Amino acid sequence: MNHNHAVIWIDHHKAHVMSFNKEEADEKIVRSKLHVPHLHTKSGSAGSGHAQEDTGFFDDAIKVVDGATEILLVGPGTEKTMFAKYIEKAHPRVAQKIVGVETVDHPSNPQLLAYARKYFVKADLYF
């Protein structure tokens, strides 16, 4: 069955990718291959306080939603924004499918799917 909507919940370690339609949903988890320690921006150590982008991780997550016509990006921190910027630069065709970038903490899979379905009902009213 065709899944025209997708939601990607992403942080520095993994991406929960759900492709779905009204009747069903598929979930895949994509994991980063980089070890990302907890960053402290106020620490006295050298460095910017920002995690290194794992573009391979981003590309793997994008491959999972290749057939989607609308994509929602969500997550608890800055990774979702870094991911959106990467998609804009490296995958402009996919960037056109992004309908929103939202802050969402750490939902369970059923909560994430419910959030995404509700979001897309609202988004579809405006398109």
**pLDDT for 50:** 53
pLDDT of residue 2: 66
- Going along the chain from its start, the domains and CATH numbers come out as 5-32+52-126 (3.30.420.60)
Decide if pLDDT at 36 tops 70: no
Q: What percent of the chain shows pLDDT beyond 70? A: 80
Tell me the per-residue pLDDT of 43-99, one tens digit each, with 9 for 90 and over. Answer: 444 445 555 678 999 999 999 998 899 999 999 989 999 999 999 999 999 999 999
Which residues are CB-neighbours of 56 under 8 A, at least 6 positions away?
33
Is pLDDT above 80 for 116? yes
CA 113 – CA 51 distance, rounded (Å): 28
Q: Which of 32, 37, 39, 38 lies closest to 53 in space, CA to CA?
A: 32
- pTM as predicted: 0.83
127 — pLDDT class (breaks 50, 70, 90): very low
Please report the pLDDT score of residue 69 as a whole number.
Answer: 93
Contact 64, 17 (CB under 8 A): yes
